[in-house]
Amino acid sequence: MKLLFENWRRYINENTQISEESERLLGMLVNLKKFGSPEQFFSRAKLVIDSPDHLTLNFSLLIDDKVAGMVVFNILDEEENCRPNPYQNKKTFMLGNVARSGAFKGFGVGKLVSFLAVCYVNNIGGTVTSDRNTSDKAGKQLVDSLKMIGAQQSEEFDYVGYLVNTLKRIFFNKDGEYDIGSAAYLAPRSHKTTGLASLTAGIHDDRLQRQFNTSFSELLKKVLNHLEPMTTQNNDDCKPSSNIIVADGLSLVQILGGSDKLPEFLEKLLTMSSQQVQDFFSSDERVQGYTFTLPDMMIKAGIEIIKAIDQTADLSDEEKEEISKSATNMFVDVYGKEIGKRGRAVN
């Protein structure tokens, strides 16, 4: 029965009909000489789309039943969802992993699976963006490809808005009052732990805490009065790249998450304009600070190709999980060979 089904599937693939426009697009995306013909491509290619946990969206492109290319998007939740104008009503899918197997170098499968994944996301009402700590072999290549085929770009993410609103959320309550306990970890502590001095250490620490709270809350308010978000809306606020170092080898998220370097960083912000802060957080060329959608004509052609090779419905959950594992293993292998320190490509 399985052999009969596979023969039938092969027959369907070999007789797949797509429009001339989609076939021309396919020829631009993949090296059809490697396959022999469009018919050979459709008989050998298989696409599997899976979202097992509804937190990620996985695309695996198989050639001759071997994982040749893969893309994984993280589905951002409401709090993290970056939606610049004019796509503020769309959900954002953030690039997680993308790779092409070394065994299929020159086939164009990496470009193809990336394009098809973006078509799929756009078709279900979403937008795509590179991640916050992507390598130059991932986000930059994806976005460069999108620009090449006429993708429509949103306005910039508001990194200053993210910083301002995150400071408010961490250190102030809902009424806008400074939360005394939120910065307790930053206050200096007494080192008097022996003899008579140890008896007064608690009192001394309380005094240090009060002094710190006064100075730190004033510093926070100065920064919040000084910086102006780039837009009035909040849903375009987005984390800047994790590759951007703001102090002592730490990213913004790490600084805000509990580093004693935070006061030093806040003092530095007072010397910069809002635009300078925005430009600083936009300075990682590997991370694109906006989202993309494709023209309807492109999406239509991409969906046509997807339908011709999509075999997700024919697979069990166990089979899809196994393919996702193979795709992950392929990514790890490619990343280890082609990507060096801090996400830079290995020459």
The pTM (predicted TM-score) of the whole model is 0.75
Confidence of residue 9 (pLDDT cuts 50, 70, 90): very low
Q: DSSP assignment, residue 342?
A: G
Per-residue pLDDT, 346: 46
d(CA 326, CA 70): 10
Per-residue pLDDT, 306: 96
Confidence of residue 317 (pLDDT cuts 50, 70, 90): very high
Confidence of residue 89 (pLDDT cuts 50, 70, 90): confident
Contact 64, 100 (CB under 8 A): no
Do 54 and 129 lie in one domain? The reply is yes
d(CA 335, CA 140): 15
- Phi and psi of 299, rounded to 5°? -60, -45
Which of the listed ranges 178-182, 275-279, 292-296 does the model predict with the highest average pLDDT?
A: 275-279
Strands (E), the chain: 45-50, 56-63, 66-75, 91-100, 126-129, 152-153, 292-293
Torsional class of 106: left (φ above 0), alpha (ψ -120 to 50), beta (otherwise): left
Mean pLDDT, residues 121-136 taken together: 79
d(CA 128, CA 126): 7
Per-residue pLDDT, 12: 41
For the ranges 46-50, 188-192, 272-276, which has the lowest average pLDDT?
A: 188-192
Any idea of the CA torsion for 200, 202, 206, 207, to the nearest 10 degrees?
Answer: 20
Do 121 and 230 lie in one domain? The reply is no
pLDDT in tens, 185-219: 776 655 444 444 444 444 445 666 677 778 888 99
pLDDT in tens, 52-64: 888 999 999 999 9
Confidence of residue 123 (pLDDT cuts 50, 70, 90): very high
Measured from the Cβ of residue 294, the count of other Cβ atoms closer than 10 Å reads: 23
In the predicted model, is pLDDT for residue 260 greater than 80?
A: yes
Do 98 and 164 lie in one domain? The reply is no
Per-residue pLDDT, 135: 54
Contact 21, 103 (CB under 8 A): no
Can you read off the two tokens belonging to residue 106?
A: 């020159």
Q: To the nearest whole number, what is the mean pLDDT of the chain?
A: 82
Do 242 and 262 lie in one domain? The reply is yes
Per-residue pLDDT, 168: 94
Tell me which of 229, 246, 281 is where a domain ends: 281
Mean pLDDT, residues 223-250 taken together: 90
Containing structural domain, residue 216: 159-281
Per-residue pLDDT, 113: 92
Do 129 and 213 lie in one domain? The reply is no
R_g over Cα of the chain: 25
The residue type at 330: M
Distances in Å between the Cα of 172 and the Cα atoms of 169, 183, 252, 273 are 6, 10, 18, 23
Per-residue pLDDT, 76: 85
Tell me which of 238, 258, 281 is where a domain ends: 281
Per-residue pLDDT, 197: 44
Number of structural domains found in the chain = 2
CATH number at residue 127: 3.40.630
Q: What is the enclosing helix (H) or strand (E) of 255?
A: helix 252-256
Do 141 and 199 lie in one domain? The reply is no
In the predicted model, is pLDDT for residue 90 greater than 80?
A: yes
Mean pLDDT, residues 95-100 taken together: 85
- Phi and psi of 56, rounded to 5°? -130, 155
pLDDT in tens, 18-41: 788 888 888 888 999 999 889 999
Do 74 and 197 lie in one domain? The reply is no
In the predicted model, is pLDDT for residue 177 greater than 60?
A: yes
Do 9 and 140 lie in one domain? The reply is yes
Q: How much of the chain, in percent, has pLDDT values that exceed 70?
A: 79
Q: How much of the chain, in percent, has pLDDT values that exceed 90?
A: 38
Do 72 and 177 lie in one domain? The reply is no
Strands (E), 117-185: 126-129, 152-153
Do 261 and 299 lie in one domain? The reply is no
Do 105 and 31 lie in one domain? The reply is yes
Do 183 and 235 lie in one domain? The reply is yes
Per-residue pLDDT, 189: 57
Torsional class of 105: left (φ above 0), alpha (ψ -120 to 50), beta (otherwise): beta
Tell me which of 244, 261, 281 is where a domain ends: 281
Mean pLDDT, residues 237-255 taken together: 87
